[in-house]
Structure 1
Amino acid sequence: MREYSNALSSHRKALKIRQKTLPSNHPDFAQSYNNIGGVYHQMGECSKALLYYEDALEILQKTLPSNHPDLANLYNNIGGVHESMGNHSKALSYHEKALEIRQKTLPSNHPDLATSYNNISNVYSYMGEYSKPLKIQEKTLPPNHPSLATSYNNINLVDDHMSEYSKALSFYEKDLEIQQKTLPSNHPSLATSYNNIGSVYESMGEYSKALSFYEKAVEIERKTLSSNHSDLATSYNNIGWLYRFMKDYLEALSYYERALDILKRILPPTHSSIEDVKKSVEVVKRIIQNK
């Protein structure tokens, strides 16, 4: 629900109880440190998140076998923080540790493996090695494997930056084709794909096609997500931008305001996302008033 202060308060209460009743190296401490670290990461306070994650790691490395899934999850979390901080080599190292454990302990179609492949793909993309994870996965995974869909999705980042929209669109469509074969029709990942394809069409100036895919995404999100979910805010904002480009300012304002209403409910009032959408609302209002 993005109520970070309440989340931190509850996690710290749990930690205080554990400090009074458990030995200092008990695995439950690692759970508390991991939870608090996760909240700080969501808040963008990466240095604090890293401190708590490292405290959790110190305990788990002493109390769990080296291939335990909880260690993989923690390596994954630490890798995510380093990724957010721009420490790409460290991020890659931790994501690879997580993947190594998951490959040994999980079935090949487990979602956590897909997460690891996705995370490693993201880091390689930032490092400029865009196709490496995909080449590995194409050799080792069946053609409909969800991890392949994720890699096709990540490859688009390069093509978007190079303005090679047709290539980006091709990878997004491969991603969508795999997901349509392997996921239920209302799965949130499909909404993400529709949003991605819509974004490319928008960049290509094909606004009617973009709007069609954005609306498909929103249709799924309204059915599967809570009314104040951040993904809905993102979709409303995307559609607002599109209508703004199409000079349909009343529709743009309507969607911007929907996005803003959600963001005000789930984020601190000074959050940058709120400020960005507020600026869009103000710009569109001025355009409408001056017409």
Structure 2
Amino acid sequence: YLRAIAIDEKSLPPDHPDLARHLNNLAGLYDSQGRYEEAEPLFLRAIAIDEKSLPPDHPSLATDLNNLANLYYSQGRYEEAEPLYLRAIAIVEKSLPPDHPYLATHLHNLANLYYSQGRYEEAEPLYLRAIAIVEKSLPPDHPYLATHLHNLAGLYKSQGRYEEAEPLYLRAIKIAIKSLGENHPNTQIFLQNYRRMLDKS
């Protein structure tokens, strides 16, 4: 990643979208390692380049905004994350078809933010909308659908709505076993959370 960035900085204009993409990729690496202080300025620089070099409703800008929002979310910086998620959603709603998987991802991420804050009434319709989009746009056994179903089930579990949560957990588990395998970490998480709900209920 560093080498790619160095090549871009020598051979391309300073506001070229390829440089933004490579900066974003390196930031994503640092984010996944918990190296947040190193990731943040790279995400910010990528967004600044996007804003100069791309149309204001370009999906790549939405992706970079979403990635910075995810970084803030990971740090508990919810007030900084929320407007970035909302802006990413607004861009994607303008620039992509209404049932595009990217929109589902952004809606789901904002729902996770609200869920983490206990804003359940705001989170639920976002989860439901994301699920509806994924059901239209991706295969019926896609792992993304399993994740969306699992997180909505978690929301219902947090509210004590066990009868609504259970079929979502079961459907998520079935999809995950089929698409990822029984030993995949996501499948195991889904199973553990379902069992925990059964213990509570």
TM-score where L is the length of structure 1: 0.53
Report if aligned partners of 1:95, 1:120 keep a CA contact under 8 Å in 2: no
Give the letter for the 2:28 counterpart. Answer: G
Give 1:61's aligned residue.
8
Report if aligned partners of 2:147, 2:172 keep a CA contact under 8 Å in 1: yes
Give 2:191's aligned residue.
236
Of 111, 114, 129 in structure 2, the residue corresponding to residue 156 of structure 1 is 111
Task: Measure, in 2, the Cα distance between the counterparts of 1:102 and 1:204.
Answer: 45
The alpha-carbon distance between structure 1 residues 226 and 131, as it changes in their structure 2 partners (threshold 3 A), is same
Of 83, 86, 90 in structure 2, the residue corresponding to residue 138 of structure 1 is 90
The alpha-carbon distance between structure 1 residues 238 and 94, as it changes in their structure 2 partners (threshold 3 A), is farther
Of 130, 136, 144 in structure 2, the residue corresponding to residue 181 of structure 1 is 136
The alpha-carbon distance between structure 1 residues 93 and 68, as it changes in their structure 2 partners (threshold 3 A), is closer
Matches within 5 A, 1:244-255: 244-246=199-201
Q: CA deviation at 1:61?
A: 3.1
Of 199, 211, 218 in structure 1, the residue corresponding to residue 166 of structure 2 is 211
Which segment drifts farther, 59-68 or 130-139?
59-68
Report if aligned partners of 1:146, 1:182 keep a CA contact under 8 Å in 2: yes
Report the 3-state secondary structure (helix = DSSP H, G, I; strand = E; otherwise coil) of the residue aligned with 1:163: coil
Task: Measure, in 2, the Cα distance between the counterparts of 1:240 and 1:95.
Answer: 42
Structure possessing the higher relative contact order (Cα contacts under 8 Å, 6 or more residues apart): 2
Give the letter for the 1:93 counterpart. Answer: L
In our comparison, the structure showing a higher alpha carbon Rg is 1
Task: Measure, in 2, the Cα distance between the counterparts of 1:232 and 1:64.
Answer: 45
Q: CA deviation at 1:169?
A: 1.1
Give the letter for the 1:178 counterpart. Answer: I
Task: Measure, in 2, the Cα distance between the counterparts of 1:226 and 1:100.
Answer: 41
Give 2:35's aligned residue.
85
Report the 3-state secondary structure (helix = DSSP H, G, I; strand = E; otherwise coil) of the residue aligned with 2:36: coil
Q: CA deviation at 1:91?
A: 4.8
Give the letter for the 2:47 counterpart. Answer: E
The alpha-carbon distance between structure 1 residues 183 and 194, as it changes in their structure 2 partners (threshold 3 A), is same
Unpaired runs of 5+ in structure 1? Answer: 1-52, 247-291
Report the 3-state secondary structure (helix = DSSP H, G, I; strand = E; otherwise coil) of the residue aligned with 2:135: helix
Q: CA deviation at 1:180?
A: 1.6
| RMSD of aligned alpha carbons | 3.2
Give 2:66's aligned residue.
118
Of 127, 136, 139 in structure 2, the residue corresponding to residue 172 of structure 1 is 127
Give the total of aligned pairs. Answer: 187
TM-score where L is the length of structure 2: 0.73
The alpha-carbon distance between structure 1 residues 138 and 115, as it changes in their structure 2 partners (threshold 3 A), is closer
Task: Measure, in 2, the Cα distance between the counterparts of 1:193 and 1:102.
Answer: 33
Task: Measure, in 1, the Cα distance between the counterparts of 2:196 and 2:54.
Answer: 42
Give 1:41's aligned residue.
none
Task: Measure, in 2, the Cα distance between the counterparts of 1:238 and 1:179.
Answer: 22
Identical aligned residues as a percent: 26
Give 2:47's aligned residue.
96
